[in-house]
Amino acid sequence: MGLSRIAASVEDVINRRSVVYLKNRGWRPRTIGLIGYGSVQSLHVLGRVIMADPETAEDPDALEEVAPVGPINVAAEAQRGWRSFFTAQVGFLPVTVHANGQSIQSMTDRGGYIDVMVRDHGLEPGWHEVTIEAKAAEPVRARVLVVDPSVRAGIVSDIDDTIMVTMLPRALIAAWNTFVRHTSTRKPVPGMAELYKDLLAKHPNAPIFYLSTGAWNTVPTLRRFMHQHGYPEGPMLMTDWGPTPTGFFRSGIEHKRTQLRNLLITFPEINWLLVGDDGQHDPMIYDELAREHPRHVAAIAIRQLSPAEQVLAHGTPEAIEEPPALRNATAEHGVPTVQGRDGHALATVLPEVVAERDEALVALGD
């Protein structure tokens, strides 16, 4: 048995014993509803089940932010962050999803996560609520976005260093997002929220997805940040930390590749604007997708990190990975790539580039 498989088995044993221990102390499963998404044909309902003290508040994913007043509140917030990261997830628990009269039975995965596919749900395009009912837990409502089939444009955005300035070594970002919960301590990338709002104003029904290699545990903190700084609401596609049977850590690159391809499968008529940064692998991941599916990518927008941010991201002052000059989606298929230091710089060229690309794709379709 490989070391990663042993580590995964040890994690499972520790988690099972933690669940039993907490159950004996009076804790019960609690379901956290995450934002789901889908088309008029199928719907992904997302959530997670963890052990929770029944005496605590029922809504750990609320958007309200407690204002820091003195060291006592800071310590309380740090404790909340610690607890949200080191959770006892309830794996393989029976779950029923109720959506528009349908009831789909499933169960959580080994990490306590719920991803239930509801087919032929009959929901109209727009925002809706469904109910997730896990065994021994109170039913909760979860929001879902049904994308209109007439929509032809959408945005996929990275989070760290793309919409939020981290200025931390990449290995510490997830811990920072979880432990340091005050949204005032994190800064938005200038102009990015306004850029997204302007682009979506021209395509009012277009969805925006936030794709990150960060852990699901950080979602409440990130939602507070986005809410405070005016980022458009959209489903968040995160990942889970910890060992798997094939590795000590899940591959962030493969996570992004998989989620991007899932979006192309779910929404085959949408042309995507892919937004990321050059601090890690976004340029290569996006270019790879655009080369494979050029008619589904309207443009690629890359935020250029400063030399100091590059050093924190990977240790050198220059971007570590960029597509080859003569073998990329722009050279081979005409998929435009624009770069800029922030949202203001990208806004000077991106809307026009996207409009031209949309016209070109329409012409190709004709």
φ and ψ at residue 305, rounded to 5 degrees:
-75, 150
What percentage of the chain exceeds 90 in pLDDT? 55
pLDDT at 71: 40
Report whether pLDDT(63) > 60. Answer: no
State the Cα–Cα distance between residues 19 and 313, nearest whole angstrom.
36
Q: Is 297 helix (H, G, I), strand (E, B) or coil?
A: strand
pLDDT at 147: 98
Report the predicted TM-score, pTM, of the whole model to 2 decimal places: 0.85
pLDDT at 53: 87
Is residue 124 classed exposed, middle or buried when 0-12, 13-18 and 19+ CB atoms within 10 A define those classes? exposed
pLDDT at 196: 97
pLDDT at 64: 34
Best CA proximity match to 31, nearest among 144, 145, 143, 132: 132
Confidence of residue 216 (pLDDT cuts 50, 70, 90): confident
What percentage of the chain exceeds 70 in pLDDT? 79
pLDDT at 75: 44
Which residues does 363 contact at the CB level (< 8 Å), separation at least 6?
none
pLDDT at 306: 84
Look at 362 and 366; give whichever has higher pLDDT.
362
Read off the pLDDT of residues 143-197 as tens digits, 9 standing for 90 and up.
Answer: 999 999 999 999 999 998 999 987 655 566 656 655 554 555 678 999 999 999 9
State the Cα–Cα distance between residues 115 and 252, nearest whole angstrom.
19
Report whether pLDDT(198) > 50. Answer: yes
Q: Torsion angle, CA of 189/222/157/242, rounded to 10 degrees?
A: 120
Read off the pLDDT of residues 288-332 as tens digits, 9 standing for 90 and up.
Answer: 999 999 999 999 999 999 887 777 666 677 777 788 877 899 999
pLDDT at 203: 92
- Mean pLDDT is lowest, of 70-79, 92-101, 256-265, for 70-79
Average pLDDT over residues 197-202: 94
Confidence of residue 231 (pLDDT cuts 50, 70, 90): very high
Q: Angle formed by the axes of helices 70-85 and 219-228, to 10°?
A: 130
Which stretches of the chain are assigned E, i.e. beta strand? 28-38, 42-52, 94-99, 102-107, 113-119, 126-134, 140-146, 153-157, 164-165, 187-188, 208-215, 236-239, 271-277, 297-303, 337-340
For the 153-365 domain, the top CATH level (class) is: alpha beta
Q: Is 58 helix (H, G, I), strand (E, B) or coil?
A: coil
Distances in Å between the alpha carbon of 264 and those of 196, 271, 291?
Answer: 20, 9, 14
Q: Where are the domains of the chain?
A: 3-146, 153-365
Best CA proximity match to 98, nearest among 38, 35, 45, 36: 45
Average pLDDT over residues 335-347: 96
pLDDT at 5: 63
Diameter of the chain measured on Cα atoms: 65
